[in-house]
Structure 1
Amino acid sequence: MMKIKKLTTLLIGVIIITGPLFAQNEKGDISLGADLMSRYIWRGTQFSTGPVIQPGIEYSKGSFTIGAWGSYSFDGDNDGAEADIYISYSFADNLFIATLTDYFFPNDQIAANNSYFDFKKESTGHILEGSIAFNGTKGFPISIMAAMNFWGADQDANGDQQYSLYMELGHSFTYKVVNIDLFAGFTPIDTDEDKGESGFYGDTAGFVNLGFTASKEVAITEKFSLPISASVIANPMAENLFLVFGVSF
């Protein structure tokens, strides 16, 4: 456990220290932007009850990418608040992408969770996730992604790590000028409620994220277009249905 804490602290320190160096490297690419979303729905789970702004910045060079992403509600409280840092590496001509993500969820109800540099297992607001994604090919146009939480705030009532697992299948195509992204996400792990277990995505194995996103660019002027999107998201396990609209800048 101590090794994990030290590794996580070192990782964050490297990101903070090397950030200015990345900006000075002309061979790399820096991208930044923000999304305005009517509601924050992630993998079939609702994280905000109202509109949010989701800024992001990313540096990429070759196969490596490092970035930061956040979500904050317009009403100023912690409804949907999140601040993430991630590192990814693509290989086999971008056919596969491996990603390490540090999710941080501040929580006013648990004062310790508002401390970003708190890496104590019993009080941290961080969750570390490892994921691997297959982007599909022309002959097999189906994307496959698997992600597992392996440390942090994803614990059962006894304080044991739950290793919540999420898997998703996707397919993308274009209909006229509209891009369509289909997705089907599920968790394959059953939990034991008698032992106080409850996975991050649900209490039993099943589908938690079914739906599609339609996106297009709306021309504002001859030189400027505004990307917009609309999603229909169903969570069969939680018996929820969400409709989300977004604008990107």
Structure 2
Amino acid sequence: MSLRILLAEENEELSVTLQRALETEGYAVEPMRPGEALVRSAVARLPDAVVFGARAPGSAAIEVCREFRTTPATLRLPVVVLLGSSFEQDRLAVLSAGADDCLMKDVSPVELLIRLKNLLRRLNPALLDTTLKVGDLVLDKNARRVHRQKKEMKLGPTEFRLLEFLMKSPGRVYSRAELRMSLWGDEASVDERAVDVHIGRLRKGISFGKTDSVIRTVRGAGYALGDF
């Protein structure tokens, strides 16, 4: 599963241009219209970073940045703001409100990619690592392979994405709704019970033909990858 970027830009042409650039670089982009639901959407979707546009800082953009920094689930979420204003005081106001970076809307896609990559590397180097390791599980993002105790585990594409998502935060309990969102986004036709099916397949795929506690079921809460 690629790093997921929540992109909120009201200019459709700019949004499409940035989405193509990000996807070409290997990011999974989830576009949406900017507005009051931006922070709530970030909490629901759990992206790896947010890029959102604002015509000018005004109270709206500043309040959004402040809300990101006062919401526990997005407290450390990387946030990049694209401004339609070239005034230095506007950029400083957005940065003071909690944005990690602030660029002009006419920034080249290449510069945005470089800034975003550097930001992710600085705030969470593990996100850019191609290998995840939890206990005796090793997941190679580029090779799309999973090994346990040096033996390759055969997983389907959905189970691979599910395991990668869980391995990013071992020990954390995710609800079925959060896991469904990580796999299928806003696809309303997918029932949360499908998560149980894929958890079962994942358990079978990473076990050695016997039941173990690598993936815990937390009654009434969801699932968690054992933190060993």
- Using the size of structure 1 for normalisation, the TM-score is 0.25
> Which of the pair is proportionally richer in strand?
1
> Which of the pair is proportionally richer in helix?
2
- Using the size of structure 2 for normalisation, the TM-score is 0.27
